[in-house]
Amino acid sequence: MKLRYLGYTLPILVLVALLALFSRGLFLNPRVVPSPLIGKAVPVFSLPRLDAPTQTFTQDEFKGKVALLNVWATWCVACRDEHEALVQFAKQNVIPIYGLDYKDERQSALDWLAKEGDPYTAVAFDATGDVAINWGVYGAPETFLLDKHGIIRHKYIGPLTQDIIQHDLLPRIQKLEQAGS
């Protein structure tokens, strides 16, 4: 008889277990995926600059300073959401922000920056997305934090906000700036 009652209460136990799982899940961020590239040097690449197709942009650009590399595109809705935050951050002049324009069209990208403001020190134009693959990019926007030796220290997936920049990125930047001095 006991066993019979257990059968009837089993669904509740399943529910409780699931609820526990979900409430834990709510406070996890599925977008925080550890990148295998963290702690490694940036991939070697050579791309044309967005504004000047004849000039090339290589990994050497990042040497000697803490920098951000933001992967974006005009077709990406979430990039539009983070753009304002990037523009504001650029105005503070903390570190240079580089852009990697990913699978995009040159003219629409230039128009977009002219209209919405250009937070980037320089933008590499990756029309085919091949370089982005080497960086392990699987969607825009993604943002990489690089140290003075051109080593990837942090990766943020998804749109940046003022809040994330102030409370997550800035402390990391300060740590990196102090570390290498």
Partner 1 sequence: MIPELGHLALILALCLAVAQAGFGLIGPWRKQLIWMSVARPAAVAQAGFVILAFAALAYAFLTNDFSVQYVADNSNTALPWPYRITAVWGAHEGSLLLWVTVLGLWTIAVARFSRHLPLELVSRVLGVLGVISIGFLLFMLFTSDPFTRLLPPVEQGRDLNPILQDPAMAIHPPMLYTGYVGFSVAFAFAIAALLGGRMDAAWARWSRPWTLVAWLFLTFGITLGSWWSYYELGWGGWWFWDPVENASFMPWLVGTALVHSLVVTEKRGAFKSWTALLAIAAFSLSLLGTFLVRSGVLISVHAFATDPKRGIFILGMIAVFVGAALTLYAWRSPTLSSGGGFKPFSRETLLLLNNILLVVAAGAVLLGTLYPLVLDALDLGKLSVGPPYFKAVFIPIMLPFLVLIGIGPYVRWKRGDSRDTLRAVRISAAVTLLLAVVCIALAGSQTSLMLVIGIVLGIWAILSALREPIHRLRARHDGRHITLPRGMIGMSLAHLGAGVLVLGITITSILGVEEDRVMSPGDTASVAGYQFKFDGVHNVQGPNYQADQGVFHVMRNGSEVTTMLPEKRQFTTTVTTEAAIDPGLFRDIYVALGNPLDNGAWSVRLQYKPLVRFIWLGGVFMMLGGILAASDRRYRRNAPQAEFDTSAAKPAEPDSEVVTENRE
- Considering the rule CB under 8 A, would residue 26 count as an interface residue with partner 1? yes
Cα separation, 35 vs 55, whole angstroms: 30
Cα separation, 100 vs 73, whole angstroms: 8
Q: Strand runs (DSSP E) across the chain, as ranges?
A: 46-48, 56-58, 67-72, 97-102, 122-126, 142-146, 152-157
- Considering the rule CB under 8 A, would residue 75 count as an interface residue with partner 1? yes
The alpha carbon of 79 is separated from its chain's Cα centroid by a whole number of angstroms, namely 10
Total residues at interface with partner 1 (CB under 8 A): 29
C-alpha triplet 135, 123, 104: angle, nearest 5°: 75
Lay out the site mask for partner 1 across 158-177 (x = CB under 8 A, - = otherwise).
Answer: --------------------
Q: Which of 2, 3, 30, 163 binds partner 1 (CB under 8 A)?
A: 30
- Considering the rule CB under 8 A, would residue 25 count as an interface residue with partner 1? yes
Closest CA to 46 of 134, 111, 175, 144: 134
Q: Which of 2, 3, 12, 54 binds partner 1 (CB under 8 A)?
A: 12
Q: Which stretch binds partner 1 (CB under 8 A): 17-25, 49-57, 91-99, 171-179?
A: 17-25
Query: What is the chain's alpha carbon radius of gyration, rounded to the nearest angstrom?
Result: 21
Q: Which of 62, 74, 97, 142 binds partner 1 (CB under 8 A)?
A: 74
Q: Which stretch binds partner 1 (CB under 8 A): 21-29, 50-58, 145-153, 173-181?
A: 21-29
Q: Which stretch binds partner 1 (CB under 8 A): 31-39, 90-98, 148-156, 160-168?
A: 31-39
Task: Give bridge partners of residue 144 from the DSSP assignment.
Answer: 69, 155
Name the site residues for partner 1 (rule: CB under 8 A).
4-5, 8-9, 11-12, 15, 18-19, 21-28, 30-31, 33-34, 74-77, 80, 103, 108, 128
